[in-house]
């Protein structure tokens, strides 16, 4: 199984990258690729720019990675209640590729974390509404509130036992769906 793990942040110290990396590590016998949003920096989307120059190669490359995946793990950082600018720009450009949906119906576990008590719930809600309109096949969601209290950065794992069990159950669920699809 090929897993594409996407942290919707361009921060070098992204807590969402830590979360999505941990989630990916819970899936056995999988080939995992962790996506770094910094590898997909492009000019900010503008219709006139698209008309003049077309869709940037980085957006095509991002779409190719999605198309090659069996499963998407996406952990979105929350900026003012919605996606980070880095993620939104990649999403916008990828949505402009002709004859394809951004997420291409690849099963996904959608996640978010934040230092506060809502754990990125605002961005999760925004994505749950928007992604299905762009081929998003959201199998389940997970949020980790109070990241600094609930994630052990040294051990690279969730330290809150209840939240860890919850994530493991969701990983098991999404892995089972992928196993069924393979048959």
**Mean pLDDT over residues 96-105, rounded?**
96
pTM score of the predicted model = 0.94
> Is the model's pLDDT at 181 over the cut of 90?
no
Position 177 confidence tier, pLDDT thresholds 50, 70, 90? confident
What does the pLDDT read at residue 176? 83
What does the pLDDT read at residue 168? 98
> Is the model's pLDDT at 5 over the cut of 60?
yes
> Is the model's pLDDT at 178 over the cut of 60?
no
What does the pLDDT read at residue 175? 86
Closest residue by Cα to residue 175 from 108, 127, 111 = 108
> Is the model's pLDDT at 24 over the cut of 90?
yes
Tens digits of residue pLDDT in 32-89: 999 999 999 999 999 999 999 999 999 999 999 999 999 999 999 999 889 999 999 9
Tens digits of residue pLDDT in 122-163: 999 999 999 999 999 999 999 999 999 999 999 999 999 999
Q: What is the three-state SS of the chain?
A: CEEEEEEECCCCCCHHHHHHHHHHHCCCCCEEEEECHHHHCCCCCCHHHHHHHCCCHHHHHHHHHHHHCCEEEEEECCECCECCHHHHHHHHHHCCCCCCCCCCCCEEEEEEECCCCCCCHHHHHHHHHHHHHHCCEEEEEEEECCHHHHEECCCCEECCHHHHHHHHHHHHHHHHHHHHHHC
| Measured CA distances, 135 to 11, 25, 103, 130, 159 (Å) | 27, 25, 5, 9, 33
């Amino acid at each position: 199984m090929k897993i594409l793990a996407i942290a919707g942040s361009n921060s070098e110290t992204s807590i969402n990258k830590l979360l999505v990396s941990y989630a990916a590590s819970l899936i056995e016998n999988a080939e995992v690729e962790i996506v770094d949003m910094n590898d997909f920096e492009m000019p900010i989307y503008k219709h006139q720019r698209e008309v003049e120059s077309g869709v940037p190669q980085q957006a095509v490359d991002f779409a190719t990675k999605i198309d090659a995946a069996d499963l998407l793990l996406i952990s979105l950082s929350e900026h003012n209640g919605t996606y980070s600018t880095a993620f939104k720009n990649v999403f916008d450009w990828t949505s402009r590729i002709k004859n394809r949906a951004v997420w291409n119906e690849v099963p996904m576990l959608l996640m978010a974390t934040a230092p506060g008590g809502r754990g990125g719930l605002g961005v999760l809600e925004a994505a749950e509404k928007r992604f299905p309109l762009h081929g998003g096949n959201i199998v389940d969601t997970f949020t980790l509130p109070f990241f600094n209290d609930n994630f052990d950065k040294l051990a690279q794992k969730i330290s809150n036992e209840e939240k860890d069990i919850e994530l493991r159950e969701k990983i098991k669920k999404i892995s089972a769906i992928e196993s069924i699809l393979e048959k």
